């Protein structure tokens, strides 16, 4: 069922993000431009995540989640079984277990006060449209406002958690098929696809059709018309730079909004372009970065890589020795929506495999946009740098926060 997947993916990402966004440089030699690393908050948490836009970071202590500020001071005491970042409306999704051990979700404000009681089987962050997608105890999805009032009745098997697109359409699932509704809950594009994604800024949405066990991806417009044929073996929504990742055979490349091939499919793996115009790619087992022309900017010499942060640093990873314990490789979850398994989970599973299935430990550090080593691979896990200049890092068994000067 859909909610199983999302719950799985949230905790899966939690288990992987210390690898997905964080890593360190390869064993290959590279130019160095090291800077001094200072502990902003000493490692004392069982787990921690990056600072959000409101200046608070989620931390876990003894199995409970709370929030701290940039000084490391507790703002909301760890008392939740699950917690998310605060949305723009000042509300954060939290989960608490009832007397039967069932995890229910609601929302709190930045003072930790309950605003919407935990009554949902699952819930998502409030999106830019001011609504949150929630799953009721009957496992049906709908939308609520910041008062907890139901705006879109809970009658769908799935709703996209990113909210209504700029064109006013929301991807929904009914009886195993996917289509789009407007803000009144009215059907605009009939549910006829085997999976559907949100509309991008260019007015195109990624869809999937499965025919005789053959999966093909393409793109439709706001009328539901196929504008880029269903011809790709895998694909992703259009990114902010107007390019979309696609797979032909087993190779990754990029297309524009007209379906024109901009970067030919030649990579073994590829990701969306970051704000600095660079994208992570894998070639023959090593990771590097390319620009939007497909030109190599940082040669593929790392064992794993992450996106560049606003301060010009990216996390990269290097194998540091044989793992003593069994590697973590998540099991495939049950989900009726192929898009989720095909994208969120499969991408996360690939990350898990590349980081741990060979039985290797990793050490993590950071490079700048020239590929120069800025912070040597010394950490056991990391998150990218947040807007406040702090990065979550793991040293030994505990997580803390470090600060470095801008690398630009």
pLDDT exceeds 80 at position 322: no
Spatial strand order in the sheet of 141-144: 122-123, 132-135, 141-144, 150-156
Tell me how far apart the alpha carbons of residues 94 and 118 are, in angstroms, rounded to a whole number: 8
The reported pLDDT for the residue numbered 177 is: 97
Least confident of 22-31, 35-44, 367-376: 22-31
pLDDT exceeds 80 at position 14: no
The reported pLDDT for the residue numbered 24 is: 32
The reported pLDDT for the residue numbered 32 is: 55
Q: What is the pTM of this model?
A: 0.83
pLDDT exceeds 90 at position 304: no
Looking up tokens 């009032």 gives 149
pLDDT exceeds 60 at position 43: yes
The reported pLDDT for the residue numbered 374 is: 93
The reported pLDDT for the residue numbered 153 is: 96
**pLDDT tens by residue, 201-224:** 999 999 999 998 899 999 999 999
Tell me how far apart the alpha carbons of residues 308 and 305 are, in angstroms, rounded to a whole number: 9
Spatial strand order in the sheet of 296-302: 269-270, 279-283, 286-290, 296-302
pLDDT exceeds 90 at position 357: no
The reported pLDDT for the residue numbered 319 is: 85
Percent of the chain at pLDDT above 90? Answer: 76
Tell me how far apart the alpha carbons of residues 84 and 63 are, in angstroms, rounded to a whole number: 15
Joined together, the tokens standing for residue 321 give 């020795």
pLDDT exceeds 60 at position 349: no
Q: What is the DSSP string of 116-135?
A: EEEEESEE----TTS-EEEE
More confident residue, 322 or 199: 199
The reported pLDDT for the residue numbered 167 is: 96
**pLDDT tens by residue, 148-169:** 999 999 999 999 999 999 999 9
Q: Exposed e or buried b for every residue in 136-169, given b needs 16+ CB within 10 A?
A: beeebbbbbbbebeebbebebbbbbbbbbbebeb
Looking up tokens 């910041």 gives 146
Output the CA torsion sign for 35, 41, 44, 47.
negative
Partnered with residue 360 across adjacent β-strands are 322
Least confident of 4-13, 121-130, 276-285, 308-317: 4-13
With beta carbons less than 8 A apart as the criterion, state whether 294 and 264 touch: yes
Own/partner long-range contacts of 121-124 (Cβ < 8 Å, ≥24 apart): 121/3, 122/3, 122/6, 122/7, 123/93, 124/6, 124/93, 124/161
**pLDDT tens by residue, 120-155:** 999 999 999 999 999 999 999 999 999 999 999 999
With beta carbons less than 8 A apart as the criterion, state whether 264 and 282 touch: no
Task: Tell which residue, 189, 194, 261, has the closest CA to residue 225.
Answer: 189
**pLDDT tens by residue, 254-292:** 999 999 999 999 999 999 999 999 999 999 999 999 999
Tell me how far apart the alpha carbons of residues 230 and 216 are, in angstroms, rounded to a whole number: 5
The reported pLDDT for the residue numbered 247 is: 97
The pairing of beta strand 114-120 with beta strand 195-199: unpaired
Task: Tell which residue, 283, 194, 282, 270, has the closest CA to residue 239.
Answer: 270
The reported pLDDT for the residue numbered 16 is: 40
Task: Tell which residue, 178, 239, 171, has the closest CA to residue 210.
Answer: 178
The mean of the pLDDT values for the chain is: 85
User: Quick one: average pLDDT of 235-250?
Assistant: 97
Least confident of 26-40, 96-110, 365-379: 26-40
Residue 251's alpha-carbon distances to 66, 214, 263, in angstroms, are 42, 17, 11
pLDDT exceeds 90 at position 351: no
User: Quick one: average pLDDT of 286-313?
Assistant: 95
**pLDDT tens by residue, 367-398:** 999 999 999 999 999 999 999 999 999 999 99
């Amino acid at each position: 069922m859909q909610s199983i997947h999302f719950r799985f993916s949230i905790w899966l990402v939690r288990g992987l993000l210390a690898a997905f966004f964080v890593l360190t440089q390869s064993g290959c030699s590279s130019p160095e431009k090291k800077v001094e690393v200072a502990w902003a908050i000493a490692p004392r948490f069982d787990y921690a995540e990056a600072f959000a836009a409101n200046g608070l970071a989620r931390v876990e202590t003894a199995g409970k989640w709370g929030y701290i500020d940039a000084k490391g001071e507790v703002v909301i005491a760890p008392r939740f079984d699950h917690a998310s970042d605060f949305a723009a409306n000042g509300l954060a999704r939290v989960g608490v277990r009832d007397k039967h051990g069932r995890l229910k979700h609601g929302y709190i404000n930045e003072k930790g006060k309950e605003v919407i009681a935990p009554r949902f089987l699952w819930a998502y962050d409030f999106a830019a449209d001011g609504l949150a997608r929630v799953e009721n105890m009957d496992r049906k999805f709908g939308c609520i406002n910041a008062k907890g009032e139901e705006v879109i009745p809970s009658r769908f098997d799935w709703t996209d958690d990113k909210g209504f697109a700029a064109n006013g359409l929301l991807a929904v699932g009914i009886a195993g098929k996917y289509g789009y509704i407007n803000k009144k809950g009215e059907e605009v594009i009939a549910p006829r696809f085997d999976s559907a994604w949100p509309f991008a800024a260019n007015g195109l949405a990624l869809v999937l059709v499965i025919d005789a066990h053959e999966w093909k991806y393409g793109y439709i417009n706001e009328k539901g018309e196929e504008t880029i044929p269903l011809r790709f073996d895998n694909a992703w929504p259009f990114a902010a730079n107007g390019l979309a990742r696609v797979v032909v055979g087993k190779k990754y490349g990029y297309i524009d909004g007209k379906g024109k091939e901009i970067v030919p499919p030649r990579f073994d793996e590829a990701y969306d372009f970051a704000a600095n115009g660079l994208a992570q790619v894998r070639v023959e087992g090593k990771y590097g970065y390319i620009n939007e022309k497909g030109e190599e900017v940082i040669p593929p010499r790392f064992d794993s890589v992450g996106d560049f942060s606003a301060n010009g640093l990216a996390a990269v990873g290097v194998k540091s020795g044989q793992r003593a314990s069994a590697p973590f490789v998540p099991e495939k979850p049950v989900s009726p929506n192929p898009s989720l398994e095909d994208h969120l989970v499969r991408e996360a599973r690939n990350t898990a495999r590349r980081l741990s299935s060979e039985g290797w430990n990793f050490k993590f550090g950071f490079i700048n946009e020239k590929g120069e080593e800025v912070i040597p691979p010394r950490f056991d896990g990391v998150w990218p740098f947040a807007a406040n200049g702090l990065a979550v890092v793991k040293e030994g068994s505990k997580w803390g926060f470090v600060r470095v000067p801008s690398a630009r």
